[in-house]
A and B are shown apart, each in its own frame.
Chain A
Amino acid sequence: MSENEVKPLDYNRRDFLKGGSVATLMGLMGGVPLFAKPGAEPVGESKPDTAKYKVAIIGLGRWGREILNTLTLAPGAKPGYQVEVAGICDNYPSALRRAGELVPGAIKTEDYTTLLANKDIPAVIIATPTHKHAAIVIAALKAGKHVYCEAPLANTIEEARAIALAAKDAPKQIFQAGLQDRSDPERLFLLPFIREGNLGKNLFTRGQYHKKYSWRQQSPNAQREKDLNWCLDKTTSLGLLGETGIHPLDQATWFYNQKPAAITAFGSVMAYAEDGRDVADTVQAVCEFRGGARAMYDATLGNSFEANYEVFYGTNGAILIRDSKAWMFKETDSPLFGWEVYARKTQFYTEFQTTGISLMAGASKGAVTPAKEGDAKPALSGALFSALGSFVRNCNDYTNAITDYTDNFGDDAEGLVKHLAEKVHRRAAAGYLEGYQATVTVVKANEALLTGKRVEIPRELYELK
């Protein structure tokens, strides 16, 4: 994930029931919210002295700071998962100082190897510029750390493969790729719904990222400015397709359960032609799946209309997903599910003559009977919060499971690996294979953009060898 990604908090503050937003239109048209089941209600509070799991963050640009904010300030962070940011690292002193104000007790260093050598910190989150991931991730895995590596894993398939293979060779350690949507409760709820064919025949999906924002950062120091603007240089950046497109394109492959067969892409520097960048600020891509469905994606830094969302279209209906919320529209001739009788419905926009149906994951009949406006709660947390929560809890569980196993059954490495794989549950998250495969897709998408040609992707390229 680029450190330039729009902060999710921006979305949460936006009220898209006002104004001409797609979600407003969808609401008027009868789009009804689809809610994932909230987490189980806490029974009592965690003891204040519950031990906290220590993590370090390497890379404190915009996205690294977003991760730091989420871990330290997100509502529900305590109790929820008990985490302590025990170390932070950036090679830019000003970034380190600024981030350090949030975690005054953390180790602050410009040298990431200091944190890798620290035995008290079992896990690291790597949010450096994409082209710097490989060396740090591989070193962290060698040092025995659990690793969260932002997506895309790397700028090249070779480096992505090296990262993924290093993670595969460290089965006692958690490796999580920064495809945070894979941990999002709302998307986890939608996954079986779409895969089971509830939208009918899948036709296509469309995603967009629109934000008027140049990506350019400034610094009085010329070298620092060059480093800060790595994403505007095609030698170090996969551009919008890689840094923002990876999420909806991965989501399409995840929901459709297929890998892309080919990609066509276009891009130009349109809005910021005067600043000398050679990375497109406006892009479009069409991803072809072997089953016939397509994923379309467009992104621009030149316009903010409708911001970010994805829509999945099928012959029976469509689902709009924005952040961690979703709305469903059923076609009038689509077969009944049966539970529509009990579901909340919103009056359809008169010109379209359709009623939208409220979906609620894990709901009983009583739970989905018509409720007062505002009663239903949205999924408890954004995708990043869920992803980091999965990471910390998975790391904690692995650490405990390894201790339990070795204390009781001795130093049986093979048995331990088998025990971890078969008996220790891992919360939903993207692993090294998903991270590698998503990176392959966007590297090829960028290749299509740069060459102006349709790029076919052989199946074997998605295999990790």
Chain B
Amino acid sequence: MIKMKMRTLITAPAVVLLAMALSSSAADKTRFNAKPGKDMKVRLEGTSTVHDWQVEGPIIAGNLTVGEGFPTEPGMAAKPGKLDAAVDIRIPVNSLKSIEKDGRPYSDRMDEVMQEKLKSPPNRNITFHLTGLELKETAKTKDDPYLCEAKGELAVAGTTNKITFPVSILPLAGKRIKVSGKTSISMKDYKVEAPVLVGILSTGDKVTLSFEWPVMQAAAPKAVEAAAPK
């Protein structure tokens, strides 16, 4: 009985401390979920020997989880340097559609060819996993974005490469953030065979990928309750 009491005396504070640590850790992180709507867009632009082409998609699924120091409100103070952020994104290949310069649909056949070249299925999504985010320039006013550099792993057609690119973080009213960015990728790097029609056209290797990704703060996770001592 004494041993049990001793164990309880030793164990109980540890449990409480652990619980406090966990709840503190959870409280430090804020999760933002992707919010589909008119502002969400991914765009691919490329060239060919006939004309430039463009593709857009309305779905960038995933979430952004941020820690302390990440600018989540307009005009919030933030020091240049490493930001605590985790991002995982999925772009369904099916949702990407070719368009004319004025936004009207361009070609069903081009969409089919694009899906084949992106090897979907089985690679149904283009994915991105963030490995590092650094704030380069803080917002000048509360209406301005925070300019950052993102590093991560981009997977296209089953091939993954590390990429680095500029990103802009714009906190908005209503616990929303808009993340935008642009980068250039090479189809060859992802083993994507550029479409060719022999004697008629060939497609350029470089593709510009840009995106606008609005996210909204999710409900805060409940803190872990400390276990009551027995």
- Residues of A participating in the B interface, judged by any CB pair closer than 8 Å: 39-44, 46-47, 50, 79, 81, 393, 400-401, 403-405, 407-409, 415, 418-419, 422-425, 427
Distance A50 CA – B36 CA, assembled complex (angstroms): 29
Asked whether, in the complex, the Cβ of A44 is within 8 Å of the Cβ of B116, the reply is yes
| Closest Cβ neighbor of B90 among chain A residues | A408
Distance A423 CA – B38 CA, assembled complex (angstroms): 8
A423: contacting residue among B58, B112, B195, CB under 8 A: B58
Within B195-211, which residues are at the interface with A (CB < 8 Å)? 195-197, 200-201
A404: contacting residue among B94, B109, B195, B200, CB under 8 A: B94
Asked whether, in the complex, the Cβ of A419 is within 8 Å of the Cβ of B34, the reply is no
Question: In the assembled complex, which residues on chain B have CB atoms less than 8 Å from the CB atom of A408?
Answer: 34, 59, 61-62, 90, 92
Asked whether, in the complex, the Cβ of A409 is within 8 Å of the Cβ of B195, the reply is no
| Closest Cβ neighbor of B94 among chain A residues | A400
Smallest CB separation, B71 vs chain A (Å): 25
Say which one of B16-24, B100-108, B158-166, B179-187 lies at the interface with A. Answer: B100-108
B110: contacting residue among A40, A403, A419, CB under 8 A: A40
Asked whether, in the complex, the Cβ of A405 is within 8 Å of the Cβ of B59, the reply is yes
Distance A393 CA – B111 CA, assembled complex (angstroms): 12
Question: In the assembled complex, which residues on chain A have CB atoms less than 8 Å from the CB atom of B105?
Answer: 425, 427
Asked whether, in the complex, the Cβ of B108 is within 8 Å of the Cβ of A409, the reply is no
Q: Could you show 5 A-B contacts with beta carbons less than 8 Å apart?
A: A39-B109, A50-B112, A409-B36, A409-B61, A419-B58
Question: In the assembled complex, which residues on chain A have CB atoms less than 8 Å from the CB atom of B38?
Answer: 422
- B176 at interface (Cβ–Cβ under 8 A)? no
Smallest CB separation, A291 vs chain B (Å): 28
Distance A257 CA – B208 CA, assembled complex (angstroms): 41
Distance A44 CA – B106 CA, assembled complex (angstroms): 17
Closest 4 CB pairs of A and B: A408-B61, A40-B107, A423-B58, A404-B92
Q: A39-B109, A43-B110, A44-B116 are in contact. Are A409 and B97 (CB under 8 A)?
A: no
Question: In the assembled complex, which residues on chain B have CB atoms less than 8 Å from the CB atom of A81?
Answer: 108
Write out, one digit per residue, whether chain B residues 86-123 have a CB within 8 A of any chain A CB (1) or not (0).
00001010110100000001111110110010000000
Smallest CB separation, B131 vs chain A (Å): 22
- Residues of B participating in the A interface, judged by any CB pair closer than 8 Å: 34, 36-38, 58-59, 61-62, 90, 92, 94-95, 97, 105-110, 112-113, 116, 195-197, 200-201
Distance A436 CA – B105 CA, assembled complex (angstroms): 27
Task: Other than A43-B197, A44-B195, A408-B34, give 15 A-B pairs with Cβ distance below 8 A.
Answer: A39-B107, A41-B197, A43-B109, A43-B113, A44-B113, A44-B116, A79-B109, A79-B112, A400-B95, A407-B61, A408-B90, A408-B92, A409-B36, A409-B61, A419-B58
| Closest Cβ neighbor of B40 among chain A residues | A423
B109: contacting residue among A42, A419, A422, A424, CB under 8 A: A42
Distance A405 CA – B60 CA, assembled complex (angstroms): 10
| Closest Cβ neighbor of A416 among chain B residues | B36
Question: In the assembled complex, which residues on chain B have CB atoms less than 8 Å from the CB atom of A47?
Answer: 116
Asked whether, in the complex, the Cβ of B116 is within 8 Å of the Cβ of A405, the reply is no
| Closest Cβ neighbor of A82 among chain B residues | B112
Question: In the assembled complex, which residues on chain A have CB atoms less than 8 Å from the CB atom of B196?
Answer: 43
Question: In the assembled complex, which residues on chain B have CB atoms less than 8 Å from the CB atom of A405?
Answer: 36, 59
Distance A403 CA – B94 CA, assembled complex (angstroms): 10
Distance A423 CA – B37 CA, assembled complex (angstroms): 8
Distance A400 CA – B61 CA, assembled complex (angstroms): 15
Distance A400 CA – B92 CA, assembled complex (angstroms): 10
Question: In the assembled complex, which residues on chain B have CB atoms less than 8 Å from the CB atom of A424?
Answer: 58
Distance A44 CA – B61 CA, assembled complex (angstroms): 31
Question: In the assembled complex, which residues on chain B have CB atoms less than 8 Å from the CB atom of A42?
Answer: 109, 113
Asked whether, in the complex, the Cβ of A401 is within 8 Å of the Cβ of B113, the reply is no
B36: contacting residue among A39, A40, A419, A427, CB under 8 A: A419
Question: In the assembled complex, which residues on chain A have CB atoms less than 8 Å from the CB atom of B195?
Answer: 43-44
Distance A403 CA – B61 CA, assembled complex (angstroms): 13
| Closest Cβ neighbor of A50 among chain B residues | B112
Instruction: Output the residue of A50, A79, A408, A415 with the most chain B CB within 10 A.
Output: A408
Distance A356 CA – B227 CA, assembled complex (angstroms): 90
Smallest CB separation, A242 vs chain B (Å): 33
Smallest CB separation, B74 vs chain A (Å): 25
| Closest Cβ neighbor of A44 among chain B residues | B113
Asked whether, in the complex, the Cβ of A404 is within 8 Å of the Cβ of B59, the reply is yes
Asked whether, in the complex, the Cβ of A404 is within 8 Å of the Cβ of B95, the reply is yes
Asked whether, in the complex, the Cβ of A46 is within 8 Å of the Cβ of B112, the reply is yes
Q: A405-B59, A415-B36 are in contact. Are A40 and B109 (CB under 8 A)?
A: yes
Smallest CB separation, B157 vs chain A (Å): 15
Distance A321 CA – B56 CA, assembled complex (angstroms): 35
Asked whether, in the complex, the Cβ of B95 is within 8 Å of the Cβ of A409, the reply is no
| Closest Cβ neighbor of B99 among chain A residues | A425
Smallest CB separation, B123 vs chain A (Å): 14
Distance A425 CA – B98 CA, assembled complex (angstroms): 11
Smallest CB separation, A143 vs chain B (Å): 24
Question: In the assembled complex, which residues on chain B have CB atoms less than 8 Å from the CB atom of A407?
Answer: 61, 92
Question: In the assembled complex, which residues on chain A have CB atoms less than 8 Å from the CB atom of B59?
Answer: 404-405, 408
Distance A418 CA – B40 CA, assembled complex (angstroms): 13
Question: In the assembled complex, which residues on chain B have CB atoms less than 8 Å from the CB atom of A419?
Answer: 36, 58
